Amino acid sequence: MFRLFIKEHSIFIIFQIFLVLFIMLLYWLDGFRNVDTAVYSIVISTILTLTFLGTLFIKKMSFYKKILSVPNKIEVVLQKEGYSPEVRQVETYLQHIYRLYQKEVQLLYATQNRHLQFMNSWVHQMKTPISVLEMMGQNGEQMDSKSVLEETDRLKRGLEAVLMNARLDTFEEDMHIEQVNLRQVVAEEVSKNKRLFISHRVYPVIEMEDDCLIATDAKWIRFVIAQFITNAVKYTMKENKKIFFETTLEDEKVVLSVRDEGIGIPASDIKRVTKAFFTGENGRKSGESTGMGLYLAQEICNRLGHKMSIKSILGEGTTISILFEKLDSKERDDKDVDISS
What is the pLDDT at residue 66?
74
Q: Tell me how far apart the alpha carbons of residues 185 and 217 are, in angstroms, rounded to a whole number.
A: 11
Q: What is the per-residue pLDDT for 221?
A: 94
Return d(Cα 132, Cα 130) in angstroms, integer: 5
Residues 111 and 135 in one domain: yes
Q: What is the pLDDT of residue 245?
A: 96
Give 94 or 262, the one with higher predicted confidence: 262
In a domain, 76, yes or no: no
Residues 143 and 23 in one domain: no
- What's the whole-model pTM score? 0.63
Among the ranges given (84-98, 195-209, 236-250, 254-268), the one the predictor scored with the smallest mean pLDDT: 84-98
Task: Indicate whether 182 and 323 sit together in one domain.
Answer: yes
**Is there a contact between 248 and 262 (Cβ–Cβ < 8 Å)?**
no
Tell me, yes or no, whether 183 and 151 share the same domain.
no
Q: Give CA–CA dist 81/160, Å, rounded.
A: 54
Maximum Cα–Cα distance across the chain:
121
Contacts 24+ apart (CB under 8 A), 25-30: none
104-113, 259-268, 274-283, 299-308: least confidently modelled range? 274-283
Average pLDDT over residues 221-241: 91
Question: What is d(CA 132, CA 136) in angstroms, rounded to the nearest whole number?
Answer: 6
Confidence of residue 329 (pLDDT cuts 50, 70, 90): very low
Average pLDDT over all residues of the chain = 81
277 located within any domain? yes
Whether residue 202 sits in one domain with residue 93: no
Cβ partners under 8 Å of residue 52, min gap 6: none
Secondary structure of residue 266 in the 3-state scheme: coil
DSSP 143: P
Are 233 and 314 in the same domain? yes
pLDDT the model gives residue 107: 83
218-234 and 145-167 are packed helices; what angle lies between their axes, rounded to 10 degrees?
130
Alpha-carbon distance of 33 to 238, in angstroms, equals: 114
Convert the pLDDT of each residue in 171-227 to its tens digit: 878 788 999 999 999 999 999 998 889 888 999 999 998 888 899 999 999 999 999
Sign, Cα dihedral of 212, 213, 214, 218: positive
Domain boundary among 141, 170, 199: 170
| pLDDT score of 339 | 39
Number of domains in the chain: 3
Residue 55 forms part of a structural domain:
yes
User: Residues 109, 120: contact at Cβ < 8 Å?
Assistant: no
pLDDT tens-place string over residues 76-94: 666 666 566 777 777 778 8
**294: burial class by Cβ within 10 Å (0-12, 13-18, 19+)?**
buried
Query: Do 228 and 293 lie in a common domain?
Result: yes
The residue range of the domain holding 255 is 175-340
Asked whether residue 98 carries a pLDDT value surpassing 90, the answer given is no
| Claim to verify: residue 43 and residue 159 sit in the same structural domain | no
- Same-domain pairing of 118 and 218: no
Q: Using 50, 70 and 90 to split pLDDT, how confident is the model at 321?
A: very high
Helix ranges (H only) for 30-181 are 35-68, 74-77, 85-138, 145-167, 171-174
- Are residue 208 and residue 271 in the same domain, yes or no? yes
Is the CA virtual torsion 234, 236, 239, 245 positive or negative?
negative
Domain identity same for 323 and 181: yes
Q: Which of 40, 84, 79 is CA-nearest to residue 59?
A: 84
Best CA proximity match to 308, nearest among 180, 221, 249: 221
Q: How far apart are CA 315 and CA 103, in angstroms?
A: 42
Give me the pLDDT at residue 285, please: 61
In a domain, 77, yes or no: no
Q: What is the per-residue pLDDT across 127-177, written as a single tens digit (0 to 9) for each?
A: 777 777 777 777 666 666 777 777 787 788 778 887 787 787 778 787 889
Residue 341 has pLDDT above 50, yes or no: no
Does 294 lie in the same domain as 257?
yes
